[in-house]
Amino acid sequence: MQQVEQLAVEHHAFGVAKITVQIGALSGVEAELLNSAFSIAQAGTIAARAELLLETMPITVRCQSCGAESEVSLNCLLCKTCGDWQTRLISGNELLLKQVEFITAADA
Ligand SMILES: [Zn+2]
């Protein structure tokens, strides 16, 4: 929310219309919890009427043996190309502010 308010000031925005957040499947963040936390946090701020969009990101790993990237599930982090278990996490644990849509003077 702090990040959003700072961005709004930088953009000379009157308000915030939409906030898109990416949540990795490994981040441990529950979309429902984030939603309710957001509605509490947004009250009285520049984003008071903003809509929150949550995008769930898949878990992706890169294989250390063959270099292939695979989209995997939480309980099976094996390379899908060669079956090796020596994989490195590329994405899946992020909690990212992806996009913020502002209401500007032109919209008002
Ligand atoms: Zn592999």
Q: Give the pTM.
A: 0.78
Distance 79 CA to ligand 1 centre (A): 5
Instruction: Sketch the domain layout of the chain as residue ranges.
Output: 2-58+91-103
State pLDDT tens for residues 9-67.
898 898 999 999 999 988 888 889 999 999 999 999 999 999 999 999 999 999 999 99
CATH class of 2-58+91-103: alpha beta
Distance 55 CA to ligand 1 centre (A): 27
Range list of β-strands (E), 3-94:
15-24, 51-57, 59-63, 69-72, 87-91
Task: Using a CB cutoff of 5 Å, list residues around ligand 1, an ion.
Answer: 63, 65-66, 68, 79, 81-82, 84
Helix ranges (DSSP H) in 2-106: 2-10, 31-42
Radius of gyration of the chain from its Cα atoms, rounded to whole angstroms: 18
Distance 57 CA to ligand 1 centre (A): 21
